[in-house]
Amino acid sequence: MKIELFNINKVVPYISNPRKNLNVDKVAGSIREFGFQQPIVVDESFTIIVGHTRFEAAKKLGLKKVPVVVAKLDETKAKAYRIADNRLGEDSDWDIPLLNVEIEALKYKDFDLDILGFDDEFLKKLKYEPDPSKRNNMMTDFIVPPFSVLDAKQGYWQDRKREWINLGLNSGEGRDEDLLNYSVVARIDKGTSIFDPVLCEILIKWFSAKKDIILDPFAGGSVRGIVSSICERNYIGIDISKEQIQANLKQVKTLCNDKHKPQWIVGNSLNIKELVKKKANMILSCPPYHDLEKYTDDKKDLSNLSYKEFCKQYEKIIKQACDLLEDDSFACWVVGEIRHKTGSGYYKNFISNTIKYFQKSGLSYYNEMVLLTAIGSLPLRAGQLFRASRKIGKAHQNILIFLKGDIKKAVGKLNNYDIKDTDYPQYES
């Protein structure tokens, strides 16, 4: 098949074309967005066999030349092909689950779905709601199935994240611009790493009850505190940076529940028992990644220590936090593995060390989950990195769940949800 560019005036519409429902505007929008990816098929007299709508759309767009394929068909076959092609288009059937996945991926990229040409009724069948006013607001429950894999790339997840951001949530405020984008990330406008608010919401609702006290030994930005407040939990976060906490507090007045205002305490979590005078019902945190992120110039800051010394202090902090945790309660720890910067490039066993420290503190390793994160420009780097070193591009974070005490008693406290299959409409067939 040879595709050539011809002057549009050379192409002749078939005067007896039986298909009249030409969606010229939609096709024009598609060509404007994607380019002319499908040629017009003509016979040897340049009369159109297939592509009348594309032809009219090209004229509407003011195109001077169009891609054309000259088909060597006799008149009978040309007539049959013209009818068959149009009919096949009408009879198109879709694998709905697969189509839904593809559309969710486009939504994640903020692609204008109107260009695809589907009407609202069809999109509703895919569980996509085109009217933003019909979506749940932030005060309604948000539940995803309790699977070991959480996919932050899904459209419903990204919609929920936008809802949080639209509230005015800005965890990047107070963070240095040069912080590496490594932690459980949800970039907004800045290059700093911030905790995914949707993940935070899920963990809080799964592993704590309303009015519970949530302890965060490595508070950082505002996300975990703000989300805890809106979910009617009492948050206590420790952070070594006074500037960071001041930035967090700016958001409290406009975003937080008056009855459950988050509390941030300036201090070193090595002294957490002295800083926090009450027991917690849940631990939720994302620790510093040794020297991958430098938070302050304080020599006591864990990000300024050698990895060996870092681990010693890290273990002490975990132990003290666990001592403050009530019996029959959960600790949720979000981590990622880290590599040696020089030499071998081997992993440092950060995750294994974290598990070991919690177990030495008397907790049981109860659940583990994986968060699939937005990969951004990673595909551009992953191939080159793999060819040079066989290192795999990292597009996930690990979520470790620990239990202190008896599981039946712990679950008995979590009376805020009676989880049913109907809680997961996005997974209904």
31-56 confidence digits (pLDDT tens): 887 788 889 999 888 999 888 889 99
- Nearest CA-CA partner of 218 in 265, 155, 162, 152: 265
- Nearest CA-CA partner of 54 in 64, 39, 65, 42: 39
Whether the per-residue pLDDT at 292 is higher than 90: the answer is: no
Lowest mean pLDDT among 138-147, 229-238, 298-307, 361-370: 298-307
Lowest mean pLDDT among 236-245, 254-263, 406-415: 254-263
Q: Dihedral sign for Cα 215, 217, 222, 227, please.
A: negative
Helix (H) or strand (E) holding 68: strand 65-70
φ, ψ (nearest 5 deg) of residue 50: -135, 130
pLDDT in tens, 386-399: 877 888 888 889 99
Looking at residues 198-203, what average pLDDT do you find?
Answer: 94
Helix (H) or strand (E) holding 266: strand 263-266
Looking at residues 290-305, what average pLDDT do you find?
Answer: 57
Confidence of residue 206 (pLDDT cuts 50, 70, 90): very high
Looking at residues 374-379, what average pLDDT do you find?
Answer: 62
- Nearest CA-CA partner of 358 in 294, 278, 287, 277: 287
Structure confidence at residue 52 (pLDDT): 87
Q: Are 373 and 395 in contact (CB under 8 A)?
A: yes
Structure confidence at residue 371 (pLDDT): 94
Q: Which domains are delineated in the chain?
A: 3-90 (3.90.1530.10), 96-132 (no CATH), 135-427 (3.40.50.150)
Looking at residues 193-200, what average pLDDT do you find?
Answer: 84
Q: Tell me how far apart the alpha carbons of residues 62 and 220 are, in angstroms, rounded to a whole number.
A: 55
* Neighbour-count burial for 392-425, b at 16+ CB within 10 Å, e otherwise: eeebbbbbbbbbbbeeeebeebbebeeeeeeeee
Burial class (CB in 10 A: 0-12, 13-18, 19+), 229: buried
Whether the per-residue pLDDT at 74 is higher than 90: the answer is: no
Whether the per-residue pLDDT at 383 is higher than 80: the answer is: no
Looking at residues 73-80, what average pLDDT do you find?
Answer: 76
Q: Which residue has the higher pLDDT, 426 or 166?
A: 166
pLDDT in tens, 244-266: 899 889 888 778 877 899 999 99
Structure confidence at residue 303 (pLDDT): 62
Pairing of strands 325-335, 396-404: antiparallel
Beta bridge partners of 263: 236
Confidence of residue 370 (pLDDT cuts 50, 70, 90): very high
Chain-wide mean pLDDT for the chain?
79
Q: Are 219 and 328 in contact (CB under 8 A)?
A: no
Q: Which residue has the higher pLDDT, 120 or 127?
A: 120
Whether the per-residue pLDDT at 110 is higher than 70: the answer is: no
Q: Tell me how far apart the alpha carbons of residues 250 and 266 are, in angstroms, rounded to a whole number.
A: 15
Structure confidence at residue 271 (pLDDT): 93
Beta-carbon count within 10 A of 152 CB? 22
Confidence of residue 93 (pLDDT cuts 50, 70, 90): low
pLDDT in tens, 134-185: 444 565 667 788 889 999 888 888 888 888 887 777 655 555 443 333 333 3
Residue the block writes with tokens 């709905």: 96
Q: Are 157 and 151 in contact (CB under 8 A)?
A: yes
Structure confidence at residue 237 (pLDDT): 96
DSSP 286: -
Burial class (CB in 10 A: 0-12, 13-18, 19+), 275: middle
Q: 405: which residues sit within 8 A by CB, 6+ positions away?
A: 327, 328, 329
Q: Tell me how far apart the alpha carbons of residues 93 and 372 are, in angstroms, rounded to a whole number.
A: 31
Q: Encoding tokens for residue 345?
A: 């490039």
